[in-house]
Amino acid sequence: MILTSPPYWVTGRGRSVAGRYARDLVAGFGREWKRVLAPDGDLWLMIGDRHDGAEWVGMDGLLIARLRSAGWRLQSRGFWAQTRSRERWDNRVNYLLRFRKAGHAVRPRGTTLCWMLPLPRSHPESVWDAIPEPVARALLEASKPRGPVLDPFAGAGTVGRVAASLGRDWIGVERDPRMARLTARRLRLKRVVGRHTAR
């Protein structure tokens, strides 16, 4: 399965900017996600509703439409309402979107995916906000307990910590060297140096 919270790498406000972000996310990563995911594997995306100081109304709908056109089907939708926000709003909503490849539907379990939690304290060295561990745990437990968990935007490694606590293998990808080093320390990962065989 894939469980991740993609960062916002665009600047600016408004629906056109949000639409460009959704398009770029799916175009840049959707094909690779589909390639590495098992036929009945889950793709969980956690997406916030505000960026650059403004609300992105309908961000979940923009992503759902883009992923649907790329051959994904929405299976579940949940929410994490962020209470005691540090911003001027009373709360923020984070969408929890579960997708599968077309033709591989999830059998409904009647689970309600809704939390009201404060933003968890980030690691002092982290440049990103953290995912609440209870939310990550529930999403992992809602998916099939087999195969590794991939987080292509690993950040400070919260998904990896939760996966490890559940006995799951975890693969994290992080392009920021500072965050990658932080994750390696938090999860006590050891550096593996590959060897090239000359022929």
Structure tokens at 124: 């002092």
Q: Identify the CATH homologous superfamily for domain 2-79+94-112+133-186.
A: Vaccinia Virus protein VP39 (3.40.50.150)
Its pTM stands at 0.84
Return the residue matching tokens 């490849």: 101
Domain ranges of the chain: 2-79+94-112+133-186
How large a percentage of the chain has pLDDT more than 70?
A: 78
| Predicted local confidence at residue 84, as pLDDT | 66
> Which of the four pLDDT bands, split at 50, 70 and 90, describes residue 199?
very low
Number of Cβ within a 10 Å radius of residue 115: 17
17-58, pLDDT tens digit by residue?
888 889 999 999 999 999 999 998 999 999 887 666 666 667
**pLDDT at residue 60 is higher than 60:** yes
Say which amino acid occupies 33: W
Burial of residue 114 (number of CB atoms within 10 Å: 0-12, 13-18, 19+): exposed
